[in-house]
Amino acid sequence: MRLPLWILLTCVVYPGALHAGSLDITGDIWARYESNISNSDASRDRIATGVVGGRIGVQTAGVWSRDWRWHLGLSAEGESVVRFSDLSRMDVGIRAGVERKFGLGWRAPRLLVDMRSIGRISGEWDSSGIGLSPSLALTWQGGERWGISVQYSPQWFFARGVLFDSTAQTAGFSTWFDLFPTTRLQVRYQFRTGDIVSYATPPRPDLVAISEVQENTLVFGSPRVRYRFDADTHAIEVGVVQRLDDRYSLNAAYRLEITQGKGKEYENHVFEFGARVEL
Amino acid sequence: MKITSSNSVRVSSSSLGAVVAACIGWLSTAFAMDLRVAVKDQNGQPVENAVVWVAPSARHSNPVGREIVQKNRQFIPEVTIVPVNSTVTFPNRDTVQHHVYSFSPAKTFDFPLYIGESPGTVKLDKPGVVTLGCNIHDWMAAYIVVLDTDFYARTDAMGVATIAGLPSGAANVQVWHPRLRGSPVRVFVNIDSATTATEVGLRLRPAFRRTPPDTEGGIYP
């Protein structure tokens, strides 16, 4: 469903874009399994669980000139963590950005400059807050069936509780290949460096020594201490998107996350299945 | 032709030539034959929108004017066939802007960002395939096949094209499709009956959407 309401949004951005926009609505639902949602390096502390989520996004976009485009979007996203409702969250976000295309045609490289901001309400009030994340992405479609993209994004999260304040930077590489006209294979690598929160059963003098902030919690039912410290995460993801028709698609992905920091290391195996509708 | 006072008919040499030419023209029309070509893909399925033509043609090709419309973020029709020196316009019937371009050697042009009537007319003065795209909507594609013959047709949903008015004898039949791997397929057919039928097989590649994942880019209208 493409509604004429885009005028309201595009007028705010640039009157000259009045002939350029429309409103795109996307809805996503997903279910995810995480093998180590507690970010624990000790096997006794690792907790696996499931997450179900949904997202609805509304986006408008337009064209300024042959090479410049803009977009503006709003989204609402929620995730419910099975058994541990304190980790559940609801985000309301805004996204705005411009895209520069270098040349004419579908193979021309493009640079996307994006700014995203979210307001988060969590099951645990202290982890609610506001997030800010500009990003750069350079994308090149090398052929009808494949393309590559590199991304960089600093991320800030300002939480009510100081333990959940976070600063991080991510850089990534992704590629896609259409196996069939309706089946796309995606492979992504992402490196993240910044704050993480790890949950462990005390005593853990080693974590005390490296963490900047720590506090007691019952978020997993039994007494634990959570620690915030700097770490690097390497994540590689392999996913498949199966388009059912012009509106509906299914997706599945596996992601391996390896986090290392100050002598600590842990893994998280993530399996995700989702569906998308584009109206 | 001249009528004399003696009521006899005297025919000059130039008039005789005209009469002979007219007779040949009439005869060729009277005995013109049809060629029915069924086009199938590698799976034996009928191929729609394949272009079938007989070349070269002694018959003079008459330029035509055609429209390729942009509607619902698609080009309509996807395949257009025109003789050399024909003209094409590109009206945009969408409520969003389009930017039509072609990099093809047969014709290079672009019409930046417009809505409504075509910003210009493109004259197609060289034979070949002109591949059209939209600079805003990467998945939009259409094809103009420019031919130096008047003997052409496009296959229907049943994969059949009929070319009418062919002279008898050997015909060099060529077949092209947007998803054909490589050059047009050639077959030689002996046109020897009122309706000659033949079948041509094409090896087609799949149709891909050529769009980047939208998680990495905006969705542009």
pLDDT per position as a tens digit, A49-82: 999 999 999 998 888 888 999 999 999 999 999 9
Q: Which residues of B touch A144 (CB under 8 A)?
A: 208, 210
Token pair listed for A225: 């201490």
State the Cα–Cα distance between residues B101 and A17, nearest whole angstrom.
21
Minimal Cβ distance to B216: which of A66, A137, A181: A137
CB pairs under 8 A between A and B: 94
Of A66, A99, A241, Cβ closest to residue B218: A99
- Give the chain A residue whose CA is nearest to the CA of B220: A61
The percent of residues above 90 in pLDDT, for chain A, comes to 82
State how far residue B102 is from chain A, nearest Cα, in angstroms: 9
pLDDT at A6: 43
| Among candidates B97, B112, B139 on the partner chain, residue whose Cβ is nearest the Cβ of A20 | B97
Contacts of B113 in chain A (CB under 8 A): 63, 65-66
Look up the pTM and report it. 0.81
List phi, psi (to 5°) of A170.
-125, 145
Partner-chain contact A24 B221, CB within 8 Å:
yes
Q: CA-CA distance, A181 to A245, in Å (whole number)?
A: 11
Check residues A14 and B31 and name the one with the higher pLDDT: B31
Mean per-residue pLDDT, A10-31: 64
- Say if residue A22 is exposed, middle or buried (CB neighbours under 10 Å; 0-12, 13-18, 19+): buried
Chain B's closest residue to A149, CA to CA, is: B216
More confident residue, A91 or B21: A91
pLDDT beyond 60 at A204:
yes
Asked whether the beta carbons of residue A19 and residue B115 sit closer than 8 angstroms, the reply is yes
Cα–Cα distance for residue pair B94/B115, rounded to 1 Å:
7
A201 and A40 in contact (C-beta within 8 Å)?
Answer: no
Q: Which residues of B touch A (CB under 8 A)?
A: 95-97, 99, 101, 103, 110, 112-113, 115, 133, 135-136, 138-139, 206-210, 212-213, 216-221
Beta strands B9-10 and B74-76 are unpaired
Partner B contacted by A176 (CB < 8 A): yes
- Residue A236 β-bridge partners: A189, A256
DSSP run (H or E) holding A10:
helix A6-13
Residues paired with residue B9 on neighbouring β-strands, in sequence order:
B3
The rounded distance, in Å, linking the Cα atoms of B111 and B77 is 18
Of B99, B213, B219, the CB nearest to A186: B213
Chain A's closest residue to B221, CA to CA, is A21
pLDDT, one tens digit per residue, over A117-135 is 999 999 999 999 999 999 9
Q: CB distance B212–A24 less than 8 Å?
A: no
Could you tell me which of B211, B220, B139, B213 has the C-alpha nearest to residue A137?
B213
Q: What does chain A come to in residues? A: 279
Question: Are residues B48 and B78 in contact, defined by beta-carbon separation less than 8 angstroms?
Answer: no
Q: How far is A19 from chain B (nearest CA, A)?
A: 6
pLDDT at residue B60 in the model: 65
Give the closest of B101, B218, B220 to A104, CB-based: B101
Nearest to B208 among A65, A104, A181 (CB): A181
Residues of chain A with C-beta less than 8 angstroms from the C-beta of B208: 144-145, 178, 181
Residues in chain A closer than 8 A to B132 (CB atoms): none
Test the B interface: residue of A13, A106, A145 with most B CBs within 10 Å? A106
Separation of alpha carbons A61 and A233, rounded Å: 33
Per-residue pLDDT tens listing for chain B (221 residues): 333 333 333 445 555 555 555 544 444 444 579 999 999 999 999 999 999 999 766 666 789 999 999 999 999 999 999 999 999 999 999 988 899 999 999 999 999 999 999 999 999 999 999 999 999 888 899 999 999 998 999 999 999 999 998 888 899 999 999 999 889 999 999 988 888 899 999 999 988 877 777 643 334 44
The pLDDT value given to residue B17: 55
Instruction: Output the pLDDT for position B59.
Output: 62
Q: Given CB atoms, is A100 within the 8 Å cutoff of chain B?
A: no
Above 60 in pLDDT, residue A115? Answer: yes
Q: Nearest CA to CA, how far is B134 from chain A (Å)? A: 7
Please indicate if any CB of chain B lies within 8 Å of the CB of A245: no
Mean pLDDT over all residues of chain A?
90
User: Residue A139: which of B97, B217, B221 has the nearest Cβ?
Assistant: B217
Quote the minimal CA–CA distance from A221 to chain B in Å: 36
Q: What average pLDDT does the segment A151-179 reach?
A: 96
Whole-number pLDDT of residue B131: 95
Residue A209, both tokens: 């020594």
Q: H or E stretch including B25?
A: helix B13-30
Kindly tell me if the per-residue pLDDT of A45 is higher than 50: yes
Let me know: does A257 contact A233? Beta carbons within 8 Å.
Answer: yes
